[in-house]
Amino acid sequence: MAVMAGWLYYDSDKQDAATACYRDALAMAAEIGDDELAAHTCLNKALQTITQAGRGKANPRSALQSTLRAADLARPRTSGRIHALIASRQALAHSLLGDRSAFDRSIATAWREMDLACDREPLSQCPDWLQFMCHNEVRYHEACGNAHLGDASKSTELFERVAAERAGQRNAANYRAWFARSLAHVGNITDAITEATDVIASLADGVSSSRTLRVLEPVRIAASKPYHSGFRERYDQLSVQA
């Protein structure tokens, strides 16, 4: 419950509350010797730190440390999905540190572990919290990493593929938000606003996620023309409600 509450607070962009929940989850995992819970929490904490680091509010080295701890905890486990997720989060931390070679190594590991998981690990045998992990999630991490490393063209290409894949409603909205953001970064404001408008519609229709709304901030900034006023108004209205 603590790790789930932490993720919900993270998604709602209430980072102090998320941190407190993750601290409680780690303490309880240590008390009962639950290494899987501890690894799960470390990976969630790494994602939170990566998000905050992207805003200049955290050190990506802390995220890397969380992934290394998760790797130690998960070492006895055969689940390929957990190792793919660890490598994906490590890749993001390396990208924020500006280390292209380490990023490339980690993302290659993530792809390899995901391939092995699909070949050898039926989804029904995978823990519930890892069932979201798939090739498209690795691609999403790769796209984010390329964005952090300044390769906007490669990032946009990958985000387009990510957004085109079938996903749950919440993940689909987040993927399309990142695609819209990447389009804005390469100067394609018209298509960025088109994509972002669809995301705004999803967020207004029950997919409550302040995290996803914040991803769209660069699109909101780029929507500077008079004929963008409708998008700006819808975005600002949701921002007030968030």
Tens of pLDDT, residue by residue over 82-131, are 999 999 999 999 999 999 999 999 999 999 999 999 988 888 888 899 99
Chain mean pLDDT for the chain: 93
Confidence of residue 238 (pLDDT cuts 50, 70, 90): confident
208 pLDDT higher than 90: no
pTM of the model: 0.93
Q: How far apart are CA 27 and CA 71, in angstroms?
A: 18
Burial letters 182-194, b for 16+ CB under 10 A, else e? bbbbeebbeebbe
Please give the share of the chain, as a percent, with pLDDT higher than 90. 82
With tokens 């070679």, the residue in question is: 101
Amino acid at 205: D
Q: How far apart are CA 224 and CA 13, in angstroms?
A: 26
Going by C-alpha positions, the residue among 49, 26, 27, 28 that lies closest to residue 38 is 26
Instruction: Give the pLDDT score at 78.
Output: 64
Considering only 31-35, 224-228, 238-242, which range has the smallest mean pLDDT?
238-242
If 0-12 CB within 10 Å is exposed, 13-18 middle and 19+ buried, where does residue 24 land? middle
With tokens 């799960």, the residue in question is: 40
Instruction: Give the pLDDT score at 129.
Output: 93
3-state secondary structure the chain: CHHHHHHHHHHCCCHHHHHHHHHHHHHHHHHHCCHHHHHHHHHHHHHHHHHHHHCCCCCHHHHHHHHHHHHHHHCCCCCHHHHHHHHHHHHHHHHHCCCHHHHHHHHHHHHHHHHHHHHHCCHHHCCHHHCCCCHHHHHHHHHHHHHHCCCHHHHHHHHHHHHHCCCCHHHHHHHHHHHHHHHHHCCCHHHHHHHHHHHHHHHHCCCCCHHHHHHCHHHHHHCCCHHHHHHHHHHHHHHHHC
Instruction: Give the pLDDT score at 77.
Output: 66
Instruction: Give the pLDDT score at 167.
Output: 83
Average pLDDT over residues 16-40: 96
Confidence of residue 242 (pLDDT cuts 50, 70, 90): low
